[in-house]
């Protein structure tokens, strides 16, 4: 199938049978804690679970630009020193969707957090504190990679 010229159709096509998801462990600018976000009760997936900043990459976006955009949109924070920690792929036969996940770590620049409607609460946590909360398995795997 040829790639559509209309960017809106390309974005839809890209996310229709392939999901490119990225999340980041965003370290506090001065403390050894990272940012966790709580999903609302009304969330489509993982309601009331703790999350990390990030989201889907749309067709035509670079992964780093997309990650920066998602973090800023969800928290108003800007970040620096973005480094990949984990790359995984999976094919969901039931949904017929191929998943690509990249987990990163980065450092927050100083600033005040203002949450978007995608999350209802936030906390700066240690690894041990995060692992006590309800979260997605793939996020737990990512957080377990940090020292």
What are 8-20's pLDDT values in tens digits? 544 444 556 888 9
How far apart, in whole angstroms, are the C-alpha atoms of residue 134 and residue 143?
13
> What span, in angstroms and rounded, lies between the C-alpha atoms of 116 and 72?
9
Average pLDDT of the segment spanning 103-125: 95
Residue 1, in any domain of the structure? no
Assigned domain for 60 exists = yes
Tell me the average pLDDT across 63-69. 95
Separation of first and last alpha carbons in the chain: 45
Q: Is residue 89 pLDDT above 60, yes or no? A: yes
* Average pLDDT, rounded, for the chain: 89
At 15 the pLDDT is 54
Indicate which CATH number applies to the domain containing 95.
3.90.79.10
Report if residue 66 sits inside a domain.
yes
Give pTM, 2 decimals.
0.85
2 falls within a domain: no
| 25 within some domain | yes
For the chain, the domain total comes to: 1
| For range 63-78, the mean pLDDT | 96
Asked if the structure places residue 112 within a domain, the reply is yes
Q: What is the 3-state secondary structure (H, E, C) of the chain?
A: CCCCCCHHHHHHHHHHHEEEEEEEEEECCCCCCEEEEECCCCCCCCCCCEECCEEECCCCCCHHHHHHHHHHHHHCCCEEEEEEEEEEEEEECCCCEEEEEEEEEEEECCCCCCCCCCCCEEEEECHHHHHCCCECHHHHHHHCCCC
> Distance of CA 112 to CAs 28, 34, 77, 105, 109, Å?
11, 14, 7, 19, 10
The pLDDT, as a whole number, for residue 110 is 83
Supply the range of the domain harboring residue 89.
Answer: 7-143
Confidence of residue 133 (pLDDT cuts 50, 70, 90): very high
Place of tokens 């839809």: 12
């Amino acid at each position: 199938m040829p790639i559509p010229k209309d960017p809106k159709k390309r974005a839809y096509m890209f996310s229709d049978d392939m999901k490119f998801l990225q999340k980041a462990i965003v370290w506090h600018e001065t403390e050894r804690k990272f940012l966790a976000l709580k999903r609302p009760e009304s969330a489509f997936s993982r309601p009331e679970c703790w999350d990390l900043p990030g989201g889907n990459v749309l067709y035509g976006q670079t992964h780093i630009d997309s990650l920066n955009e998602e973090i800023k949109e969800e928290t108003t924070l800007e970040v620096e020193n973005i480094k990949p920690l984990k790359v995984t792929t999976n094919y969901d036969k039931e949904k017929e969707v191929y998943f690509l996940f990249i987990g990163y770590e980065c450092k927050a620049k100083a600033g005040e957090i203002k949450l978007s409607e995608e999350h209802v609460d936030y906390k700066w946590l240690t690894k041990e504190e995060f692992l006590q909360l309800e979260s997605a398995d793939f996020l737990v795997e990512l957080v377990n990679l940090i020292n």
